[in-house]
Amino acid sequence: MSYFITGTDTGVGKTLVSCALLHAFAAQGKRVVGFKPVAAGCDDEDHNEDAQRLRAAGTISASYGQINPYCFPLAIAPHLAARHVGARIDFSRILHSYAELAGQADEVIVEGVGGFCVPLNDQQDSADLAQSLELPVILVVGMRLGCLNHALLTVRAIAHSQLKCAGWVANVLDADMPALQQNIEALQERIDVPLLGVVPYQDQANPDSRAVAAFLQINLLEQ
């Protein structure tokens, strides 16, 4: 089983949770690999930091190009970043890379870009990509003010796309968030899939995905 990881927004910890899932599955003896189909924001070598972290967390050998087929210099909405360099994100290229990785691994963790409905080209968005991959979705909820609305809207969008939401993760972004536990409970009451774990506040400059793996209950996922 592989999973598509989406978030309530950009910067909510998709990469951290994706890497943690890779470590957790690897601890079960599975061959795992991360996949970042589209990344906006890269270094002088056309490498994206999030994609590099995913590659490092995997257990199979894969080239950077396999892990991240589309990487654009500007850290802006992906369809705009692609347009800036005269490119267009083509799903067939992504699906080909995914098939290569899936042929080598037991688990492919696919990290989306931005939120669930962010545009990827003139006609398609991240939800369309998840549909094309036919993967169950894991939602990362950034626990901060406004998260209830963002989380519930995203769950509705996943359902509207006729995809299975396999579970969600509460990632604490605000160390001093008022009523944190009550917000988590409010989401548990309204999201009818397992809460896979609550990730405590992390050092944003150097989050520890191996340590975070211990907070995830992957046994709650349907295998």
Please tell me the distance from the alpha carbon of residue 104 to that of residue 99, in angstroms, as a whole number. Answer: 9
Please tell me the distance from the alpha carbon of residue 153 to that of residue 157, in angstroms, as a whole number. Answer: 6
The residues carrying an active-site annotation are 36
- Using the CB atoms, write b or e for 39-69: b if 16+ within 10 Å: bbbbeeeeebebbbbbbebbbeebebebbbb
Instruction: Assign 196 to helix, strand or coil.
Output: strand
The H-or-E segment that residue 154 falls in is helix 147-160
- 142 beta partners: 171
Please tell me the distance from the alpha carbon of residue 212 to that of residue 202, in angstroms, as a whole number. Answer: 9
Please tell me the distance from the alpha carbon of residue 22 to that of residue 34, in angstroms, as a whole number. Answer: 7
